[in-house]
Amino acid sequence: MSTLSVKTIVSNCVGKIGPLSIKRDVLGVYGNDNPQTRSLTERLRLIQTAPFVRLALVTIRPAGSTQGQYANLQRDLDVANEVWQRDCGAWIYCVGSAVDNTGVLGNNVVLDQNACPLGVQANPTAEENALFALGRNLGADVVGYFITGSTNPNLGGCSAFPQGRRGFWSGFNQSQNMFAHELTHVIGLNPHPADDPDVPDNDQDNVMWPTPGAITNPPPDLRPVQCSRVQGDASVETC
């Protein structure tokens, strides 16, 4: 059996060409907030064999801010990857992380949000349209946004997106499970357990529990039926 180079695998499977960063382009590490041992061999196996979704990340800051990306970005990404890989055999390929400091959400980075349904937002506000237009040049159909929050200060995330701009937002300083929760709403349109006929209403171990900070027995779980929805999503691809 011939041995393929890292460059060939990455080029063939995820389409990255030119100079490669092992850390970013192969291991998908964009922050130093969650240090851990990461295996290149294991990642190359995943890239070649497991279904994945491309995801871009954008951190929103006030106009002129010099703050960088969200401080817990890597932690959140790692939690989501752990849940997806362990229970679904699928993984998340982060194609890039950008910071927007154009002031799209004022000084406090709070989004003027209309309803928060599962999936397409039928009547997005001007700010929702502006937010979900960001990061579309990073190489993924799905974009995750880190912001302060939205109109209701009690909401920690939302997976509603304007037509044709799949994505979600997760609030700064939310539970480490919030990001995985919102992503799994978008990919597979998984509802909360109480609204899911295939998941017990009281499954508080599940990543789709409506208060992700209160999930019991971490790391959170996904059931086979939820994984089937993830793997059947149009944005999930394989090498």
Partner 1 sequence: MSSMSPELLREIESVCAIAIEEIVAARRPDDLVALRAALREEADVPRSLRQNAIQILGRWGDTESAAAIRLLLPRFDERERINAVDALGRMGGPDAEAAVLQTTEDESPDVRRFAAYVLSNLGTEAARDRLRDMEETDPEDFVRAAAARSR
Binding site for partner 1 (CB under 8 A): 63, 103, 106-108, 110, 112, 115-118, 125-126, 149, 151-160, 174, 178, 181-182, 185, 191-192, 194-195, 210-213
Closer residue to partner 1, CB minimum distance, 97 or 175: 175
| Min separation Cβ 100 and partner 1, Å | 14
Q: Alpha-carbon distance 73 to 77, whole Å?
A: 6
Q: Could you give the 3-state DSSP secondary structure of residue 50? A: coil
Closer residue to partner 1, CB minimum distance, 15 or 200: 200
Closer residue to partner 1, CB minimum distance, 14 or 230: 230
| Min separation Cβ 140 and partner 1, Å | 22
Closer residue to partner 1, CB minimum distance, 73 or 215: 215
Q: Could you give the 3-state DSSP secondary structure of residue 148? A: coil
Beta bridge partners of 55: 94, 142
Q: Alpha-carbon distance 46 to 206, whole Å?
A: 24
Widest distance between CA atoms in the chain:
57
Write out the two tokens for 101.
């400091």
| Min separation Cβ 109 and partner 1, Å | 9
Q: Alpha-carbon distance 59 to 72, whole Å?
A: 11
| Min separation Cβ 115 and partner 1, Å | 5
